[in-house]
Amino acid sequence: MNRRILWHAIGVGLICAILLAGALGEPKRQILFYVSGFGFLALLSLIFIISIPLLARAWKSPHAEMLLANRRQMGIYSFVFALIHVILVFNFFFAWDAGKILANPNSLFLIMGAAAFLMLALMAASSNDFSMKALGRNWKYLQYLIYSAILLILVHFIAVGKIFAQNTVIVAILLLVALAVLALRFILKQPK
Ligand code: HEM
């Protein structure tokens, strides 16, 4: 299968899997499940993307090289998952009134989510050959925003999450993996 089509199939497949899981679950919690599901999927996919250079270092194979070469396309899907989360949150929780975010008792953690979302939007908008050429070295620096975005989202997830964040085992495993990957990326100073 063509690589491009493969990534679209995986991305769209994951979106359909969340929609299906929500439809099969409790109708009362369906919206919350969709909001949480897409936010969580975005976070997981970002952690996976930053772990790819480590995987490629530990496991030298054509598959790992293929993952390395396709991080841009995966990043676009992470942004799409985050975008769906944000659209659902704005529609169902805040009725498209940004003022309600500021008035919320968790406003600081919601703003952290918004800041991370802006970073992901910048990265997604510059994820094309034209921007890569135009930005030169700065393009690489722009991609480093992924680390700040992940840290902000981890805090946002733990502070406001109502489904996955309520499960101590999920939170512990996710934090352990995310922080280990972030630390290893910095310790090994991997340029990719
Ligand atoms: C304007 C930006 C954002 C706003 C206003 C926002 C708002 C919210 C709200 C109200 C919740 C609590 C409801 C729930 O648990 O489903 C939540 C949870 C969550 N958000 Fe966001 N969010 C934003 C951006 C993001 C981004 C960019 C990501 C990831 C890339 C993200 C990931 C998550 C995760 C993982 C949860 C917890 C899921 C759970 O355990 O239930 N959010 N967000």
Residue pLDDT, tens place only, 69-121 = 999 999 999 999 999 999 999 999 999 999 999 999 999 999 999 999 999 99
Domain assignment present for residue 32? The answer is yes
Domain assignment present for residue 76? The answer is yes
How confident is residue 4, by pLDDT bands cut at 50, 70 and 90? confident
Domain assignment present for residue 192? The answer is no
Q: Which two tokens stand for residue 12?
A: 């769209």
Q: What is the pLDDT of residues 29-68, one digit of tens each?
A: 999 999 999 999 999 999 999 999 999 999 999 999 999 9
In the numeric block, the tokens 């480093």 are attached to 144
Question: CB under 6 Å to ligand 1: residues?
Answer: 32, 35-36, 39-40, 42-43, 82, 85-86, 89, 93, 101, 110, 113-114, 116-117, 120, 153, 156-157, 160-165
Would you say 48 and 39 are in contact if contact means Cβ atoms under 8 Å apart?
no
pLDDT of residue 107: 98
In whole angstroms, give the CA distance from residue 156 to residue 115. Answer: 10
Would you say 155 and 108 are in contact if contact means Cβ atoms under 8 Å apart?
no
Q: Domain total for the chain?
A: 1
Q: pTM of the prediction? A: 0.95
Residue 147 Cα distances to 111, 120, 144, angstroms: 17, 10, 6
pLDDT of residue 189: 73
CATH at 161: 1.20.120
pLDDT of residue 192: 54
Calculate how far, in angstroms, residue 128's C-alpha sits from the geometric centre of ligand 1.
Answer: 27
pLDDT of residue 12: 97
Question: How many CB atoms lie under 10 A from the CB of residue 84?
Answer: 20
In whole angstroms, give the CA distance from residue 78 to residue 83. Answer: 9
Q: Which domain holds residue 162?
A: 3-187
pLDDT of residue 190: 58
Q: What is the pLDDT of residues 140-177, one digit of tens each?
A: 999 999 999 999 999 999 999 999 999 999 999 999 99
Q: Is the pLDDT of residue 1 over 90?
A: no
Q: Is the pLDDT of residue 191 over 80?
A: no
Ligand 1 atom nearest to CA at 90: 5
Q: Is the pLDDT of residue 3 over 90?
A: no
Q: Is the pLDDT of residue 26 over 70?
A: yes
Report the residue among 50, 92, 156 best suited for mutation to probe ligand 1: largest number of ligand atoms under 8 A from its CB. 156
Q: What is the pLDDT of residues 176-188, one digit of tens each?
A: 999 999 999 999 8
Domain assignment present for residue 67? The answer is yes
Calculate how far, in angstroms, residue 144's C-alpha sits from the geometric centre of ligand 1.
Answer: 21
